[in-house]
Chain A
């Protein structure tokens, strides 16, 4: 099939980008979306043009590197599917496709479709962990955890940190990402000792990074490739309120 692609090109963070139109031919439906871009890039290279830069790695939907907005929807139209797992059979000959980066102030474009998502790492540094040094740990079965809680924790731990929630949010809010981590630990006994500190520090860092605010559109949940629920956001709101009211001292790292 033949496609018309409108792709965001931007040389560096400082440059002003623009949409550029390309045509690709010879696309077969078994290709993944990224393989289709590979075809385009091979063609561009042979034409002395710079290939389109995009983040990708595992290409099996788990590493969270790939991050494209396809026709206005992060990761494209298929439910719970990362862009690397989206195949061209969902498109038809002659389609026009808009390919844009995950847009947010907190995710500056490094080049073309590649964005800097280290803001997520910094949020994690602020509290996305259990402070358990290696060694000196009791037996793994010492604390029973109900299957339900383990499952709920796992539902949230499934987050791949891709940032689609931010990209989809009208306000570029990172609440779904942050709440997934907060909720994972909130459901587990191991997470209790630092529960208040964690939510306060992670939210504070999230705010510093310049993400927008959650206004409950739930667009994040709709595009999340791992189906993380906005119920986690409610849990985080609850935890944040409780921690704010009871934690009297200024928080340290």
Chain B
């Protein structure tokens, strides 16, 4: 028991929690992005995909709950770490310079907070429709919830699009350090593979950013259009 307690309160465990939950969240992001990219396949494909997800029923809730736990763990652990780190140096330097630490690594907590706020907004916006209740009343010709139109309508608002675009840039910035860091925390550091890990980190962060960004941009530029017959209330 003592060993368990020591394990759970240890600094390295906290890091491992950050890395492991981060990994799950990144994998989710990749899946989510792949789903979103179906917007390019048109209204039918997108809505079919959405309905399939909804059709998972109980399983969907399990996945949602799991993701929620991951997110909460990630956030709580980061707060714990931040709090400890803040306390680890009560007196700050009068003059501070960094030699090596990247901007991305030094701003993790800030990009993290903004991403968290964004996720909250995003759920209220597209999932719960709390900000735009009208989204709940969109149905396509087959009577399915018209997710496709909802997205196009959402991004047609320049302000909303800008929020999403900004959030994705911050996310990429966050991930750039996060993915590389995850390998280190899980004990993978080898001079032979480090360039690859660095490249992978950059690539995955960029793919996620570009993939997600392309949709609001596509809408704003008119590459993705509202299907005929949808009425904006």
Contact = CB atoms under 8 A, between A and B. Distances in A.
Interface in B84-107: 84-85, 87-102, 105-106
Given A104-B88, A106-B88, A237 B93 contact: no
B6 A215 contact: no
Given A207-B9, A212-B84, A100 B95 contact: yes
A173 B88 contact: yes
Given A72-B96, A173-B88, A219-B100, A249 B15 contact: no
B172 to A, nearest CB: 18
A105 B87 contact: yes
B89 A234 contact: no
Given A72-B97, A215-B105, A219-B99, A103 B89 contact: yes
Contacts of A91: none
A250 B93 contact: no
B74 interface: no
Contacts of B16: 237, 241
Contacts of A132: none
A202 to B, nearest CB: 11
Interface string A100-129: 100111100100000000000000000000
A214 interface: yes
Nearest to B19: A237
Contacts, number: 151
A34 interface: no
B84 to A, nearest CB: 6
Contacts of A223: 99
A223 B92 CA distance: 18
Contacts of B89: 103-105, 171-172, 212
Contacts of B12: 203, 214, 236-237, 240-241
Contacts of A247: 3
Interface in B68-86: 81, 84-85
Contacts of B108: 215
A233 interface: yes
A109 B177 CA distance: 33
B11 interface: yes
B95 A98 contact: yes
Interface string B42-59: 000000000000000000
Interface string A186-203: 000000000000001001
A155 to B, nearest CB: 12
B200 interface: no
B158 interface: no
B10 A222 contact: no
B184 A219 contact: no
Contact of B6 (A98, A105, A204): A204
Interface in A211-237: 211-219, 221-223, 230-231, 233-237
B233 interface: no
A77 to B, nearest CB: 8
Contacts of A71: 95, 97
Please provide the 9 A-B residue pairs with the shortest distance between their CB atoms, ordered closest to farther.
A238-B187, A212-B88, A234-B189, A222-B100, A72-B97, A171-B85, A250-B2, A217-B101, A172-B88
Interface of B: 1-3, 6-7, 9-16, 81, 84-85, 87-102, 105-106, 108, 177, 180-181, 183-191
Given A204-B6, A237-B16, A247-B3, 12 more contacts: A6-B94, A6-B95, A103-B91, A170-B101, A172-B89, A203-B11, A207-B9, A213-B15, A214-B11, A237-B185, A237-B186, A241-B16
